[in-house]
Amino acid sequence: MNIKELELKATEVRCSIIRSLHAAGSGHPGGSLSAADIVTALYFDEMNVDPADPKMKGRDKLIFSKGHAGPAQYAALAVRGFFPEEELLTLRKMGSKFQGHPNMNYVPGIEMSTGSLGQGFSAAGGMALAGMLDGDPGRVYAILGDGELQEGLIWEAAMSAAHYKLDNLVGIVDHNGLQIDGRNDDVMTVMPIADKFRSFGWNVIEIDGHDMQQILDAFAAARACKGRPTMIVAETVKGKGVSFMEDQAGWHGKAPNDEQAEEALKELGELMEAQKKALTA
């Protein structure tokens, strides 16, 4: 899949996020949309996964440590063919396998139940440790929120991944700068993110998290790095792709109503048409 095709897929993923959150009536659009390009690059280019065999031996694994953005992972898995996209309309409803935060025992392709911040990253380290022990070719990816970096467990896990030289582990910080109570810098500053991980012994790559080429290049550079885990610090925009949601802390944990969903899907639909035209041009 070329860059333009991946960009189109990312828009499909964004549409799916809006549809499922609108149907749910609650959830976290801002941080789901900011991670959409990264998660699309992972499922459609970087990762070795098989929708027909979600537990395939030697597969790559993605853990959404920022579990509240699980709808982005659900959407990417659906678009990738792990399950029909219509199922996502049950998101957050009684009896649905699509819980408000992901449950690994319900949803094919979900590798870890997350939601309590910091824990997915720690478990990802354990999975990478197991992979190293077994000589498993699979790589482990973990998407972290920037606010999530305020959890002490993140730094315990960062320390141990470097200690055990887990070069099969790649973290991606979705640095959209916002958390529930406002800007990271006002709540509890997490800067300088890159320097912090560097000082913990990580290979750090800084990119624009909405530039597909930069995302792919970063994953390639992570593969080439031996003896150290890699942290990709991705500069992103919360709510990316839906103009009225962009860079608004208020869209961290609020679902769009009927009108807002329609407006968002209209905007994304226009983008999709333009992307399709660009593909055939």
Partner 1 sequence: MTEKIATRQAYGEILPVLGKEYPDLVVMDADLSGSTKTAEFRKVFPERFFNMGIAEQNMYGQAAGLALSGKIVCASTFAMFASGRAFEIIRNSIGYTHANVKICATHAGITVGEDGASHQTFEDIALMRTIPGMTVINPSDAVSAKKLLRQAVEMEGPCYVRLGRAAVPVYYKEEDEIILGRGKQLRDGKDLTIIATGIMVPDAMAAAEKLAEEGVDARVIDIHTIKPLDEEIILKAAAETGAIVTAEEHSVIGGLGEAVAHTVVKKCPVKMAMVGQQDVFGESGKPDELRAKYHMTAEDIVKAAKDLA
User: Contact residues for partner 1 (CB under 8 A)?
Assistant: 103-105, 111-113, 115-116, 118-119, 121-131, 133-134, 136, 152-153, 156-157, 159-160, 163-164
Pairing, β 203-208 against β 230-235 = parallel
How much is the CA Rg of the chain, to the nearest whole Å? 17
Q: Which residue, 71 or 118, is less far from partner 1 as judged by CB? A: 118
Nearest Cα to 91, choosing from 19, 32, 38, 197? 19
The least distance separating partner 1 from the CB of residue 130, rounded to whole angstroms, comes to 3
Q: Which residue, 34 or 113, is less far from partner 1 as judged by CB? A: 113
Q: Which residue, 30 or 67, is less far from partner 1 as judged by CB? A: 67
The least distance separating partner 1 from the CB of residue 249, rounded to whole angstroms, comes to 25
Q: Which residue, 123 or 212, is less far from partner 1 as judged by CB? A: 123
**Please, are residues 181 and 252 in contact by the beta-carbon 8 Å criterion?**
no
The least distance separating partner 1 from the CB of residue 118, rounded to whole angstroms, comes to 8
H or E stretch including 201?
Answer: none
The least distance separating partner 1 from the CB of residue 173, rounded to whole angstroms, comes to 18
The least distance separating partner 1 from the CB of residue 57, rounded to whole angstroms, comes to 10
CA gap 113, 107 in Å, rounded: 10
Q: Which residue, 55 or 226, is less far from partner 1 as judged by CB? A: 55
203-208, strands of its sheet edge to edge = 61-64, 140-145, 169-175, 230-235, 203-208
**Please, are residues 234 and 209 in contact by the beta-carbon 8 Å criterion?**
yes
The least distance separating partner 1 from the CB of residue 259, rounded to whole angstroms, comes to 36
Q: Which residue, 32 or 65, is less far from partner 1 as judged by CB? A: 65
Give ∠ CA 195-197-202 in degrees, rounded to 5. Answer: 120
3-state class of 235 per DSSP? strand
The least distance separating partner 1 from the CB of residue 12, rounded to whole angstroms, comes to 30
Q: Which residue, 21 or 49, is less far from partner 1 as judged by CB? A: 49
Dihedral sign (CA 72, 73, 77, 80): positive
CA gap 148, 187 in Å, rounded: 12
Residue 79, CA atoms < 13 Å, CB-side half-sphere: 26
